[in-house]
Amino acid sequence: MVSKRLSRLEGHRRKFMAVIDGTPECQRAVHYAGRRAKNSNGGLVLLYVIPDGDFQQWLGVEEIMRAEAREEAEATVAKIAQIVRETIGIEPEIVIREGSAAEQINAVIEEDRDVAILVLAAGSAKEGPGPLVSSVAGRAAAFPIPVTVLPDTLTNEEIDALC
């Protein structure tokens, strides 16, 4: 059960959340979420989740690996946030977490009660549409808010027309 969304109350605004994972399709999700946020006077949350299992080393090595992963996450999200500022004209919120993607998405939704829509984009790789889209489709990771899944064939111009 998800906490009541506050986005329609005075002093709040609806936020769209896009997950940054380094895949080409995540850029489409960010573009759509950013356009929808701007057109509805809402907000954009960019979530980057550092996978939990990457740090199973000795303590000193683990700390270095964790710091490097954090640096990479910050650089990746900063680059995408700059693109959002330049192309859409809004300031995104940046959230970086460590752990399971599905668990961290749910945690952010629970903590920020203005997050009202999760935006994902399907990939076109032969392996499938991507792990998050596959988990939503297979109901392995049901999220407590609506999920918008963009098809892999949409261009930015088509996304703009939809928003």
Give the mean pLDDT of 24-29.
89
The overall average pLDDT reported for the chain is 85
Q: Report the alpha-carbon distance of residue 107 to residue 16 in Å, rounded.
A: 15
Confidence of residue 133 (pLDDT cuts 50, 70, 90): low
Helix residue ranges per DSSP H, 8-155 = 24-39, 59-87, 101-111, 131-137
Q: What is this structure's pTM?
A: 0.85
Question: What pLDDT does residue 126 have?
Answer: 59
At 53, the pLDDT band (50, 70, 90 cuts) reads low
d(CA 160, CA 80): 18
Domains of the chain: 15-162 (3.40.50.620)
